[in-house]
Amino acid sequence: MKKVTLYTDGACSGNPGIGGWGAVLMFKGAEKQISGAEESTTNNRMELTAVIEGLKCLKEPCQVDVYSDSAYTVNAFRNGWIYAWQKNGFKKADNKPVLNVDLWEILLELTQQHSVTFIKVKGHADNEYNNLCDKLATDAVKNLKSNL
């Protein structure tokens, strides 16, 4: 199974507001940068979208290390919340509905096609690729704003 590294980040200008996401995929020394933006969204939606879009780039099942500064995204998998939510009809322990169910369902499906490990990184620090993803996301926001 091919081993891929995926760095992701999301950004939002206002929350909710115009949002962007960025991702960098790495395989055997090659890098692919992707990004996008939406007019009305939240930071958490953009964090999830970055991972989804990165995983969608893979053409076959891979072993993927996903690096994200989003505790929301990473902890859902590392702490098993996503599986409890799914089992409980996407309701949290307090019986309130889980937000962003549409994206969680897509991400769950994608993680079942690959062997995915989520790794939390400190945001806006000294991680070169996290900073690059942040720039891709914020540039996507700026680009969308300038086209509105």
**Nearby residues of 104 by Cβ (< 8 Å), 6 or more positions away:** 48, 76, 82, 85, 90, 98
Is residue 39 among the annotated active site residues?
A: no
Catalytic residue from among 19, 36, 38, 134: 134
Report how far residue 45's alpha carbon sits from residue 78's, in angstroms, rounded to the nearest whole number.
18
SS3 148: coil
Is residue 80 among the annotated active site residues?
A: no
Is residue 9 among the annotated active site residues?
A: yes
Is residue 124 among the annotated active site residues?
A: yes
Residue 112, amino acid: Q
Catalytic residue from among 20, 36, 38, 47: 47
Is residue 22 among the annotated active site residues?
A: no
Is residue 47 among the annotated active site residues?
A: yes
Catalytic residue from among 10, 20, 22, 54: 10
Catalytic residue from among 19, 38, 69, 114: 69
Report how far residue 82's alpha carbon sits from residue 92's, in angstroms, rounded to the nearest whole number.
9
Indicate the burial class of 41 (C-beta count within 10 angstroms; 0-12, 13-18, 19 or more). Answer: buried
Residue 109, amino acid: E
Catalytic residue from among 39, 89, 102, 124: 124
Residue 62, amino acid: C
- Residues marked active site are found at 9-10, 47, 69, 124, 134
